[in-house]
Structure 1
Amino acid sequence: MQLSAVAAEEVLQITRSCNPTTCPLDPIPSAMLQTISPDLLPFSTTVINGSLTSGHVPTVFKKARVIPILKKPALYPSDISNYRPNNLHDPNQSGFKAAHSTEAALLAVTEKLHAARSAKLSLVLILLDLSAAFDTVNHKTLLSTFRSLGICGTAWEWFASYLDGRSYQYKRHLSTTSNSQTPNSTMAKTKELSKDTRNKIVDLHQAGKTEPAIGKQLGVKKSTVGAIIRKWKTYKTTDNLPRSGAPHKISPRGVKMITRTVSKNPRTTRGDLVNDLQRAGTKVTKATNSNTLHRQGLKSCSARCVPLLKPVHVRARLKFAREHLDDPEEDWENIIWSDETKIELIGKNSTCRVWRRKNAELHPKNTIPTVKHGGGNIMLWGCFSAKGPGRLIRVKERMNGTMYHEILSKNLLPSARALKMKCGWVFQHDNDPKHTARARKEWLCKKHFKVLEWPSQSPDLNPIENFWRELKICVAQRQPQNITALEEICI
């Protein structure tokens, strides 16, 4: 594969499109080059095509000059970390420009969003993570990718030549302020070498080059080159090895003690742990205890509210689980689950978190108004299966045995037909006295409805509870103002 030769017209067009600026590496200004480009055009075209056809990039074209400048004028000039690698400012750049702070950028974006919304226009906002913007790509990996894409021959050799033997010159920038100092390379702490540079050091070492030659070629100290090579010989990697860091304030024995304490009694407070460790001779803060337990996979959470279970309830639930442990999925798909629930007009239908400042917990924006008895509510009965929701109705009168019998007679069989339940489907309801009354059992038996035996005190086992939760969250988001609106949202 070969790269296509360029025409003289293309070279002329590119030359004329260059900015009329000067380049430290080129003694001829761009403006002058554009003026004499018709005379130089045959020679320029020959040089470019010679490079493309031979697969070789001249070394003079692989040099660069870096003139770092301070990120901000007030920063200390002798600290190398206070410099940026270039002095080019994009017109849309906000950082490191006078009167162009990050806040200014956010205000500009917000203004554009408001303007688009006012004009009823669509606006696309793309957020980029630039944390890895200066990460380098290993040249071997890049060239290998080229081969996998079918780039070979002199075309591949041209790219390899372009990437090999690149160099740059570093020019120190002298500040004009009275207390100016020239940044030097003898700082106590220097920037860590990139992964690509470390890999290059190993590659050159394997190619037979000496440490001084590698350091000179890459602009890295000989001692640094030697340290990287020794690390590679010992650990077969150039990655950063785990660092020890500061020693933990709590000894391994103390960690075991507090872990054992909270495992035995999960309601132990951080203050109790501080006192336990202090009695053992270790003085730490509550935050240290939290961090230590986090490393052990433990974190503080709100205790879940669950039904109060007596031993008889536990045995019944365990028996139910064992009896249905090996039931196939098809059996569960053939069950109609049912239950009742109460939806409050004003109440905690769902949890709500707010962002607030300290001591602002009683501000109206940060509170949820409540009234006695929820300000009104509606009672719902509903059912569903794996195939979808069945009927959902409002119970307008007080729920009793007669009312429940009427609900089942009017809604259970139509729901089963709408859901297209298979022959032999099973009905589930809990052990509420209205459900288990003799009259209800006889009616269900007369209609030949199979009923799933249900353990007492087990509302959490019914999957319809998830349905009720989603419904209450929806109600809280819609914020109905009266019972009629509440019913419209639910039904």
Structure 2
Amino acid sequence: MKNNQEITKKVRVQVLFQSGVKKPTRISKMTHIPLRSCERYVSNLKKGISLDRKPGSGGRNKLPPSKVKKVIIKSKEQKKPIQIDKIAKQTSVSKASVRRILNKEGITYKRLKGRYLNLAQKQKRVSFCQEMLKMNQIDQFIFIDETSFWLNKCRPYYGWYGDTVEKQCDLKFSQSKLYSTKLHVWGGISSRGTISLEIFTENMTKEIYKEILKKKRKQMEQLYPHGYRIIQDNDPKHRSKIVKQYIDKYIFSNSFLPPYSPDINPIELIWGLLKKQVSKDSPETIDEVKKSIRKYWRQLTPEIIQPYIKETNERYKWIINNQGEFYIK
């Protein structure tokens, strides 16, 4: 059933594409979206065209050669990854036009390869992937993680604004403390569903982390009464003595991801999905952010989550075959 609250097909395709899943056939299989639609979405993403619905329509005005040249010059001047917004402001050219010009110049939107991983880090990634495949129990894994939401980043880039509304919005946000306002969110996903979120404002400590595990343990056991394994990253708080003692005593089993390995943690894709959906609600207060986060988390059914987790096995194989490199496909 379609409604404004559902996690849209385009969002799911875009998150998978940005995480390295480039083949329309694979995306279609993971999301159950028709192959033709996936092919169209992927084609647009490869060209740097956003899948978001944009206001207005009609023909494009042809840019004068001087403007095109200026965009190219500005893009070559940048030493860091090119920022479309920055070039658009510097040249007074729309972001869509900047994207088209850069695409024609062979400059595309893509992920960087993991060039900064050293040999030891790559070997740890390979060993971890081999161990996970050997266990062959991915359906019993619970992937847990934390992320943060900043109020100022929970706003859409595009919208319908008249001059009066735009000025009111600018005034409202300039007077607020949104740039220093953020929420921390802890959650967990598995093939059988989600673990309820824990939302807090203080910085995570080992004591807070232990209390979260204590609070959520019952849910984990209800999902997997015969045993489960939690998968978490290498944050020092996760490896602290008091947390380790609690896990050893009460949690069935535990594994740590190798360093620099968000590409083999499916909950990272879910965080991306969640943040994109929350931004569409354009929350203006921290309470609205919380409400939006919880609303979309409740929509994450096992049917939505399972393809992301099953894809992880393919990533393990890819990383082993590519000697520990970042998953890019």
Q: TM-score, normalised by structure 2?
A: 0.49
Q: TM-score, normalised by structure 1?
A: 0.34
* Greater RCO (CA < 8 Å, at least 6 residues apart): 2
